[in-house]
A and B are shown apart, each in its own frame.
Chain A
Amino acid sequence: MINEIISMNGYGSYVWSAFSFTLISFASLYFVTKLQLVKEQSRFASKFGTLNVEKARVARSQNINKEILSNTSNI
């Protein structure tokens, strides 16, 4: 049974390489995109940390900024 699934009547190398290529491409794109997102979130958090009290209050008044900060704390 296992040998049959692996060899697939001699087509196994074609089928498994096509599926492997697809899954490796998915994993690579996911991790590259995730890395870019995390990098941008940390950049935002460190910039936010340098703001004075008044500027931080203004920035915090925007919901989107609050949301980014709450997501950053989850990293």
Chain B
Amino acid sequence: MFKYFEPNKIFVITSRAPKYVLFLFIIVLSIGLTEALILSPEDYKQSHAVRIMYVHVPAAWISLGIFSCLALFSIGSFVFKNKNFSLISKSLAPSGFIFNVIALVTGSIWGKPTWGTWWAWDARITSMLILALFYLMYLLAWRIYKDKEYVIKITSIIAILGVINVPIIKFSVDWWNSLHQSASVNVFSNTSIHMSMLIPLGIMTAAFTLFSLLIFLMKYNTELIKVKNKGLDRL
């Protein structure tokens, strides 16, 4: 099955896709920003501060999603010895890290008007900070170690250890007393957000997903060209 995803076969798609994804991202982001900043209503308790949710929540969701994918592909590269998997996980990491930083910074900005503080050593916030450190270790490992086999091993271990933190982040608000509110959007039970806020949240999540896809494709193409550059040296 993996042969269908060989870089030589999919490069035709991955090299042409970014311009279309960028175009779609700009359209969806423009609609999302208009909804989030102008059209959506203010909250009866938080007033306009609630609008920070439209960048904070999608960024947090996507950083968690990307780390889960990164761990999955790292396990795949470890088990099946498939180098393409390690290229994919390496290409996913930069956007995941940026989304994690955005979630932390916008969360801190949102915390000031709602909790009265920029930062608290709360279970959810601290576990998100730990995830950012795992992302950082993962990215640094690719920069520090030059031995290909060794770096794949090290980064896989970092990803597998880091993914243990993902369910901790998700359930931290249920397991411990936390300043952070519990989940308002649920897949398997009732969602407590009104449609007028859920729609902009959905659009912004779609825009952020498109951005992470765009960065992934560009980074993946860069990594493939690097491999091909080494191939030219060996000719």
Contacts and interface: CB of A to CB of B under 8 A. Distances in A.
Interface of A: 5, 8-9, 11-12, 14-15, 17-19, 21-22, 25-26, 29-30, 33-34, 36-37, 40-41, 43-44, 47-48, 51, 55, 58-59, 62-65, 67-68, 71
Nearest to A1: B38
A17 B109 contact: yes
A44 B233 contact: no
Contacts of A8: 42, 47-48, 51
Interface stretch (B66-74, B97-105, B134-142, B160-168): B97-105
Contacts of B48: 8-9, 11-12, 15
A67 B235 CA distance: 18
Contacts of B11: 63-64, 67-68
A44 B98 CA distance: 28
Interface string B29-40: 000010011100
Given A14-B109, A14-B113, 16 more contacts: A8-B51, A14-B110, A17-B109, A18-B52, A19-B36, A25-B98, A29-B94, A33-B222, A37-B219, A37-B222, A40-B222, A48-B232, A51-B232, A51-B235, A64-B11, A64-B224
A41 B105 contact: no
Given A26-B211, A71-B15, A19 B37 contact: yes
Contacts of B12: 63, 67
Interface size, B (range): 35 or more
Contacts of A62: 8
A40 B214 CA distance: 17
B136 to A, nearest CB: 15
Contacts of B229: 40, 43-44, 47
A12 B224 CA distance: 44
B89 interface: no
A34 B37 CA distance: 29
B219 A33 contact: yes
B76 interface: no
Given A19-B37, A22-B106, A58 B235 contact: yes
9 contacts: A9-B42, A14-B52, A25-B102, A33-B219, A33-B222, A67-B15, A68-B11, A68-B15, A68-B225
Nearest to B7: A64
A19 to B, nearest CB: 6
Contacts of A22: 55, 59, 102, 106
A6 B145 CA distance: 48
A60 to B, nearest CB: 11
A59 B47 contact: no
A5 B38 contact: yes
Nearest to B47: A9
B99 to A, nearest CB: 9
Nearest to B55: A22
Interface hub of A12, A15, A37, A47 (most chain B Cβ within 10 A): A15
